[in-house]
Structure 1
């Protein structure tokens, strides 16, 4: 059972911003290796590297973090987590860092929809407006036309946002029972097993430089997961989800500095609409909670 901590929107927000900084850096590494390694190979080495980094920490703690009574929730979290990772890295390789991060950050918009479908929660008028704004932003960014089939990076980024919404809800559920290290261990273990299955027949040799980048990527994954879990121990996903959009700023800066990516007007307008939709949905849920 995880220890109860005092809720703090400030601490939760800080941890979430740092988490998505690590996540954005991780996507930069993926873009560096896009022409060298397949998405499956990149994912497999990243998860295995992260698990190798975590195992000594678990061992020092005498493996007491391995006990859990909610393995099904871990499986849901692990399955959606590996799916979101694969989709996000593939999107980052096929489209710009900004587009991939904006579409990944549609999770606050998907959460009310998931609540409607699975929890039968009523969606009021303001939330429908928020969802509509976010959808309009996605359409502007993705620019759906006949060419989308030849470059599906934006659709993959949108799919990453959807499955990540499910993952984040599972993380909050796990915070009720398991410690951050317990959650990280099972997430990385499940991710390593699933990615091993996916990479069969697609193994590639990696050189020294690639190995160092992959080790750094594994470190980013460990940091992202730890900071994400810590953020949700201090605040609920819908309360601080707006700070997830900080990754769009990080992606724009890193994409401009490292990959010389340019921002067009459509991407800027779409980003603002997605952010507005997410913030509006978050503010409405928080308002209902406090009323």
Structure 2
């Protein structure tokens, strides 16, 4: 049975299934730990602390400097990442799990726009289609009341937090793309918790809540599951083409819908399914449209894959 599964299931898909499941579980833990009155900033700080320890250990294992070359840009990557993470976690505490994850998948729209404006990339037809479909999906998911009078709109505060989180993730993505030419991926990853921990603690101030055993367990799980996401994403990128890995990653929405129903009794509406489908379709069209393996040499393909790997290491958590 196991051999048969290995024959038809690509190795990259197996790693992405584990990564997507870990991401959905991590999102559920964020939502659950907030019910113990743990502030969002404290959740961010706990996640950053665990990531800082693991990232530091990885840098020491490689025997490289933790400070990198472009310290200003690395710090900006950390700032964008912590802003995105705070907003994403806050959105998870307000919105249904599936809807929060669907809105997070608008990151490719912001990334495409920033790549054109900042990196000077060409405007592809697939990018235009991606933006149009994603905006249609956003409206249908967030404001179905514009189409049907008796439909329930999502909370505006949660939607804005999710959108800012997606935009922050896109900014971090573009910065990492620039940094990947001169910085080791482990250093890029290290700067995120190094910035996130003091920033979140400073903003938290005296509002720290002493967690009980269950809340502490959930906080630890958030850090551990995030690391599982990163490891499996890395392995998926090593054994599979980046465009295929991106396509596989959208299975996390299915897992999120299942977790939302299992833990929070959240049943996605027809509008969530329709809007989410348009957003995912737009993102996939953009990925496929930018993938031209036949025009790349094997060396360039590996270089592009390495860059994407360092980018996606934090994609599940800004």
Q: Which of 156, 160, 166 is the aligned partner of 2:171?
A: 166
2:66 matched residue in structure 1 = 66
Gaps of 5+ in 1: 1-9
Matched, 1:107 2:112: no
What's the CA shift string for 1:260-281, capped at 9, x where partnerless? 2101100000011001111111
Count of residue pairs the alignment pairs up: 281
1:18-167 correspondence to structure 2 within 5 Å: 18-35=18-35, 36-56=37-57, 61=61, 64=64, 66=66, 68-143=68-143, 151-167=156-172
Retained in 1: the 8 A contact 2:144–2:271? no
What's the CA shift string for 1:138-166, capped at 9, x where partnerless? 11111177997964212221222221122
Describe the SS at the equivalent of 1:66: coil
Matched, 1:245 2:250: yes
Aligned-pair distance for 1:21? 3.2
Retained in 1: the 8 A contact 2:134–2:283? yes
Gap change, CA 1:281 and 1:143, over 3 Å in 2: same
Aligned-pair distance for 1:226? 4.1
Gap change, CA 1:218 and 1:144, over 3 Å in 2: same
2: CA distance, partners of 1:289 / 1:202: 55
Gap change, CA 1:124 and 1:182, over 3 Å in 2: closer
Aligned-pair distance for 1:106? 1.2
Describe the SS at the equivalent of 1:78: helix
Aligned-pair distance for 1:20? 3.8
2: CA distance, partners of 1:238 / 1:73: 26
Report the TM-score, using the length of structure 2 for normalisation: 0.76
Gap change, CA 1:145 and 1:76, over 3 Å in 2: farther
1: CA distance, partners of 2:226 / 2:218: 12
Report the TM-score, using the length of structure 1 for normalisation: 0.82
What's the CA shift string for 1:52-105, capped at 9, x where partnerless? 44545555x386452521323321321121112111111111011101101101
Q: Please, what is the CA RMSD of the aligned residues?
A: 3.1
Gap change, CA 1:17 and 1:172, over 3 Å in 2: farther
